[in-house]
Amino acid sequence: MSVDQLEFRRVMGHFATGVTVVTSHDGAGKLGGLTANSVASVSLEPPLVLVCVDKKSDSYPLFGASQSFAINILANEQETLSRRFAKSGGDKFTGVAYRIGTTGCPILGDTIAFLDCNVRYTFEAGDHTIYVGEAVEIEVRSESDPLLYFRGGYRNLSA
Ligand SMILES: Cc1cc2nc3c(=O)[nH]c(=O)nc-3n(C[C@H](O)[C@H](O)[C@H](O)COP(=O)(O)O)c2cc1C
């Protein structure tokens, strides 16, 4: 039995997640990033995390070029930022507070936590590539509530 794509999306939409903006760069000054919820912790020793990136996204070439990415975990108040990074095109960083982290990736302001990573493993998986990165700089920055995603919509802990 083949699985319908829309139904696959709908079913996976019932898996509630946090929301991140995963940033990267091309090694020559070009910055990019995308909203992503396919983030998971992989290993403690060494500290590995993964993100699955659509090969069709504009940000995709940056991951290969710099072999690095930063996972910025969004706070409940950052839905607008999430929407901005969930659209292709334009300068996503205009008016956004950030600094450049250890790997050269942008670390966004006002997030609840971040992990700056060097790519250690890459796996081709259908129309996405799974990037497994080793965290080289990490920080919890605020005890704010997280931004959540469930059934195709943004949520918070109380609603
Ligand atoms: C809540 C949410 C989670 C998403 N998770 C992912 C993801 O894990 N991987 C991915 O490739 N795209 C994901 N996307 C879609 C990208 O954010 C979207 O395709 C974006 O336009 C890519 O930007 P770019 O083309 O500038 O790289 C997600 C979108 C939303 C709203």
Nearest by Cα to 39 from 88, 74, 75: 74
Helices (H), the chain: 5-12, 60-66, 79-85
Taking CA atoms only, the protein residue closest to ligand 1 atom 28 is 36
From 25, 54, 81, 131, mutation site for ligand 1 pocket: most ligand atoms within 8 A of C-beta: 54
Confidence of residue 1 (pLDDT cuts 50, 70, 90): confident
Q: How much distance in Å is there from the Cα of 34 to the middle of ligand 1?
A: 5
Is the residue at 9 inside a domain? no
Q: How much distance in Å is there from the Cα of 35 to the middle of ligand 1?
A: 5
Is the residue at 115 inside a domain? yes
Is the residue at 4 inside a domain? no
Is the residue at 33 inside a domain? yes
Is the residue at 8 inside a domain? no
Q: How many domains does the chain have?
A: 1
For the whole prediction, is pTM greater than 0.85?
Answer: yes
> How far apart, in whole angstroms, are the C-alpha atoms of residue 79 and residue 31?
21
Confidence of residue 159 (pLDDT cuts 50, 70, 90): low
> How far apart, in whole angstroms, are the C-alpha atoms of residue 26 and residue 32?
8
Q: Which residues contact 152 (CB under 8 A, 6 or more apart)?
A: 10, 13
Q: For residue 82, what is the domain's CATH number?
A: 2.30.110.10
103 and 22 in contact (C-beta within 8 Å)?
Answer: no
Question: Residue 83 has which token pair?
Answer: 């929407």
**Rg of the Cα trace of the chain?**
15
> How far apart, in whole angstroms, are the C-alpha atoms of residue 136 and residue 66?
15
Is the residue at 111 inside a domain? yes
Is the residue at 7 inside a domain? no
Is the residue at 69 inside a domain? yes
Domain range holding 32? 17-155
Taking CA atoms only, the protein residue closest to ligand 1 atom 7 is 36
Atom nearest to 38 CA in ligand 1: 8
Q: What is the pLDDT of residues 58-115, one digit of tens each?
A: 999 999 999 999 999 999 999 999 999 999 999 999 999 999 999 999 999 999 999 9
